[in-house]
Amino acid sequence: MTRRLRSLAIPSFLLLCLLAGGSSSQGALANAGLQLVALLVLAWAAVAPRPEPLAKPARLVLVLAIASVVLVVLQLVPLPPGIWSSLPGRERVVDGYEMLGYPLPWLPLSLSPYQTLASSYSLLPPLGVLAGIVVLRAHRESWLAGAVILGAMASVFLGALQVASGGQAGWTYLYEITNTGAVGFFANRNHMASLLLAAIPFSAAVFASGHPRIKGRGSGFATIALGGGGFVLLIVGLLLNRSLAALALAVPVIAFSAVILPAGWRLRRALLPLALLALAAAVVAMSTSWVRSLSQTDIGAFTSRAEMWENTSGAIAATFPFGTGLGTFSQVYASSENPANVAPTYINHAHNDYLELLLETGAPGLILILLFLAWWAWAALRVWRSPSSTSFARAATVASAAILAHSIVDFPLRTAAIAALLAACVGTMAQPPRERRSERAKHVDIA
């Protein structure tokens, strides 16, 4: 395999995830295909020679990834009746066996082990992308950014067709159960919005990479056109999409992206505090007042996010600290609802990835989440403080921050598309690729 083809491997896989992994519960064949490709990438990473040791950030994030897999495996290990029956939240299971007159069998921590096993397969695409970047280095930063932008632009074009059809043209929608309007290659408009938000800083990075102040020669007109044109198209896509959370996050994302541009470096001291303030304001706005009166354009008028979070928090308290098992949210949530408030709607996710993971994984999951967020903050600070960091690495910090913030009010990480995108951002932050180190001397220091 030539070096160029090798460098195309992970960007191509990422683009495939963005186009085919737009639903967490539909598109079983497409998701299975992505998982098979991810298995091949992981096998490649396992047998490939290591010409040089991994950087410390890469080693740490791989440890966290392996710990996550171990946690899921432990949830599937059968336990003797005397142990699992004494765990919080297992009372109804015990009552069921007693009513039937059956002896208590050996059961795992997961309340639905088959669902946990099925959900564990969804970890494969992001793990494959992460391993491809930090272990195989089968990518180029610019090509990863190009894959993100191309995937986002394709979603915008398809979303425009969906809007033009008035939501009536079934052939433009990939999934049977879907929002109407501009959803692109996704089933949920908010998940498309996550992709658009993440693509904005990468378009700024592509624009910056073609600027004379960066290249030192020529103007890279095609690169500048792709970055600038992509940015304009992404803004149009956000307006078509009309996700409330995305519109709230767009201001800080654009502000941070402006810092990546060469023209914005002189304004860094003014832009960074304003961007941080805008991000904090967006997070507060998303998690408080506006979620109390949810519109039908998000998930329906029957149940608000605030009510779902309250019910989920109650289920967490009833099953903490061991959790209920990965992928068990819908079953546990249905059993914990107040019968007097049940409506003819199906709640399949908490619309808050952190609460949902806390319910499913308990205290071990909480520890992993906190460790990952601490790693992310350390890695992001490292990227922004290093004069040798590229615009793509800085874009990865902004894009991942947008996804993590959006996960407070939705479940974008439950799709292979956004999970793989976050993994690409994390990998870029964790392991500087060869091209960055080999080309440092060619770049003008603008930090």
More confidently predicted of 104 and 339: 104
Q: Are the C-beta atoms of 149 and 230 separated by less than 8 Å?
A: yes
Mean pLDDT within 176-199: 92
CA atoms in the 13 A half-sphere facing the CB of 103: 5
- Domain contains 169: yes
How many other β-carbons are positioned within 10 Å of the β-carbon of residue 329? 26
Q: Which residue has the higher pLDDT, 88 or 214?
A: 88
Instruction: Flag the least confident range among 134-143, 241-250, 256-265, 289-298.
Output: 289-298
Residue 181: per-residue pLDDT = 85
Please provide residue 107's backbone torsions phi and psi, each rounded to the nearest 5 degrees.
-135, 155
Residue ranges making up the domain that contains 221: 3-287+391-442
Residue with tokens 């949530």: 333
The pLDDT, as a whole number, for residue 271 is 55
Cα 39 to Cα 27: distance, rounded to the nearest angstrom: 18
Residue 24 included in any domain: yes
Q: For residue 79, what are the β-bridge partners?
A: 107
If DSSP codes are grouped into helix, strand and coil, which group holds residue 79? strand
Amino acid at 393: A
Answer whether residue 148 is part of any domain.
yes
Q: Is 319 a member of any domain?
A: no
- pLDDT beyond 90 at 290: no
Which residues lie across from 107 on neighbouring strands? Answer: 79
Give the mean model confidence (pLDDT) for residues 340-367: 86
Q: Are 223 and 210 in contact (CB under 8 A)?
A: yes
Distance of CA 49 to the CA centre of its chain: 29
How many Cα atoms within 13 Å fall on the side-chain side of residue 51? Answer: 5
Task: Confirm if 329 and 25 have CB atoms less than 8 A apart.
Answer: no
Residue with the bigger pLDDT between 27 and 71: it is: 71
Return the axis-axis angle of helices 141-164 and 3-20, rounded to nearest 10°.
30
Burial environment of residue 140 by CB neighbours within 10 A (0 to 12, 13 to 18, 19 or more): buried
- pLDDT of 242 reads 84
Helix (H, G, I), strand (E, B) or coil at 254: helix
The pLDDT of 304-333, averaged and rounded, is 90
Taking every pair of Cα atoms in the chain, the longest distance, rounded to a whole number of angstroms, is: 80
- What's the confidence (pLDDT) of residue 244? 82
Share above pLDDT 90 across residues of the chain, in percent, rounded to a whole number: 54
pLDDT-based confidence at residue 107 (cuts at 50, 70, 90)? very high
Q: Is the pLDDT of residue 440 over 50?
A: no
Q: Give the mean pLDDT of 137-166.
A: 90
Q: What is the pLDDT of residues 292-308, one digit of tens each?
A: 444 334 444 334 777 88
If one counts the domains in the chain, the total is 1
In-domain check, residue 421 = yes
Distance CA 26, CA 140 (A): 31
Overall average pLDDT of the 180-200 stretch: 93
Lowest mean pLDDT of 232-241, 257-266, 284-293, name the range. 284-293
- Taking only the tens place, the pLDDT of each residue in 28-83 is 999 999 999 999 999 999 998 876 788 899 999 999 999 999 999 999 999 999 99
Lowest-pLDDT choice from 52-61, 225-234, 261-270, 373-382: 261-270
Asked, for residue 274, whether it belongs to a domain, the answer is: yes
Q: What's the average model confidence in pLDDT over 75-93?
A: 94
Report the b/e string of 368-395 with b at 16+ CB within 10 A: bbeebeebbeebbebbbeeeebbbbbbb
Q: What is the pLDDT of residue 195?
A: 96
Contact criterion met (CB below 8 Å) for 428 and 396: yes
Round to whole Å and give the CA distance between 221 and 23.
Answer: 36
* Domain contains 257: yes
Q: Assess if residue 334 is contained within a domain.
A: no
Q: Confidence band (pLDDT; 50, 70, 90) for 27?
A: confident
